[in-house]
A and B are shown apart, each in its own frame.
Chain A
Amino acid sequence: MNYAFSTGNELAALCEAENITIAEVMIRREMETSERSRDELINQMFEHLMTMQRSIREGLDEDQQTMTGIAGNNAEKLYAYAEKANMGTDMARICAAAIAVTEVNASMGRIVAAPTAGSSGVLPAVLVMCSEKRGFTDRDIVNGLFAAGAIGIIIAKNASISGAEGGCQAEIGSASAMAAAALTELCGASPRAALNAAAMALKNILGLVCDPVAGLVECPCIKRNAMGAANAVLCADMALAGIESIIPFDETVAAMRSVGRMMNSDLRETAKGGLAATPTAAEIAAKINI
């Protein structure tokens, strides 16, 4: 059997042919290409999960001194406020966790790029924080990470997961789509439903530019991780409620690629446009880049 896939349609067909999950197809595919055993792959993903869990805890518990001092310690603030949050306690905690990981990243702490360092908060926040409510075990979350990886591979192959190539839609957009699909599958929905969740998540972030203030992974990246996590939960819930994406996943990925190509290079990580070109950003840049 060959578990190769390049598109969402191919992935769903493989799942349906053997009645297996996206995570299972991803594991079997990785076994084929890496010639490593199932146990080895699962152990490596387990280690990533442990790093993810640690980064959430660190970001929520400890003072995070980011390199420039322009950001930091907002995760604690949101977490402390969560019970009063208009979006509900659970959602506020998920967003706080996403901020936590990205603050740890900006403070030279240890994170897992998922798919990139700048978007590393979305996936752990969604899967780890939803696990308590839904009763996911660590082994379930590891499966979720494999499922998320499959979605990321399709986006990387057909569009991009790099802000320099495709803008923020390629980083936070991809992370959000990956998290949405993984959560949908972990909640027991079909591979097609998971792809619908991914499509909706990507659609919502389509066109977002990468405009880091002073060229650093702090502003607006940290708060956009919170948005990406919230969007993932929203889109997973829509898919679980039976809502379908009008534009299918593969076509959404193609649209993301074409939008990325139309995007001026000033809006792709070069810190020359968007928020990075505001007077406040210029002030910050002058202060920190001595």
Chain B
Amino acid sequence: MASWNPRTEEMPLDELRRLQFKLLKSLVYRLYSFNEFYRRRMKEHQVHPDDIRTLEDVAKLPFMYKSDLRDGYPDKIFTAERNELVRYHVSSGTTGKPTVVGYTERDIENWSESLARAFSSCGLGRGDVMQVSYGYGLFTGGLGAHYGAERVGATVLPTSVGNTERQIELMQDLHVTAIACTPSYLLHMGEVAEKMGISIKNDTDLRMGFLGAEPWSEQMRGRIEDWLGIRAYDIYGTSELSGPMFTECAEQQGIHIWGDLALIEIIDPATGEVLGPGEQGELTITMLQKEALPMVRYRIGDLTAIEEGTCACGRTHPRIGRIRGRVDDMLIVRGINVFPSQVEHALLEIPEVGRHFQIVVDRKGALDSMLVRVEVSEEAFSDKITELMVIKKAVEHRLRSSLNVGVDVELVEPGTLPRFEGKSKKVVDRRSL
């Protein structure tokens, strides 16, 4: 598929690396000179912008973590003035505090450019109708995909999440050709469509999907492509990068990470050492052009590897393989990131239940379900079923509002939940991808 921005996308690798070095160098100087947080970090790490003499010297810089965003809540580590920001997005943090990300006009521009390149590398363009079934709002998925698709000239149908029957009707009536959503939601749509007597493969114009925000496998891709008669492309990003940003190209041989926007490294999560191409490790990203919230050597926590060699499509930019897992205990439920520590934190504020819990994640049909098992406290135990049901509903409500995802709560007998720390017993994940 033709490149959106051929000069950049097909830039010779050595030229791309020179560009990356130039961008990195000016980023580091800018942060060191103008931002207290980054200057202090670099000083603590005994590194000065002058020490960055080659692209590989990025490894001399200190890492950034999600906790830096939490500690800097809401905008302490932003590097743009408030009146320069054109947008905020908010995601749930690892505990009670959310994570706020901000964008300047240029940040939104680069985000759209990144997705425009990605979408066109799969053949999306003028004449296509893109249904965006990611959530719109504080979550980055909906608006991100929306801007990218508009940029390439596609017509956007911003359905957001929910009301699946109507989504299918609109898909049919408005001749939707592409969809952006989670892979499990697309499978769910396929099932609902069949119940409505509609075959997505035969009765709609859908021909491609940009699927992500949750882990999926090659087997799942095969199932989606065969059953729904579409090409399914992996899309990747997190709010710290801007949102969904990168996809595979039509070759489906790894996700192209545009090197002029992001510098990627794979590191050993235990030692922090940089690993070579093909080696599995933690993805670490430096955003080279972000203005409002630069991320330097940000440890995303996803495990993957850099694919070797140049892609058959002719784009020179590095690619990453499928995400193989997480370095931490983060779960992804219906596209939303959930940390067990968030559940723990929320339960501490509900005296009616104990602090022990167990999370059971399952897939009913195509969709994820999340059950949180808690113990009723001695003081709150009532002989009346109605009062116990009130407690159950209150815990469900509380967890839903702090996790941003619907949760079922089960009240269990005291002493039946695992007492010791560790993911293995606190989280039971019965999903198979």
Judge: A and B partners, yes or no: no
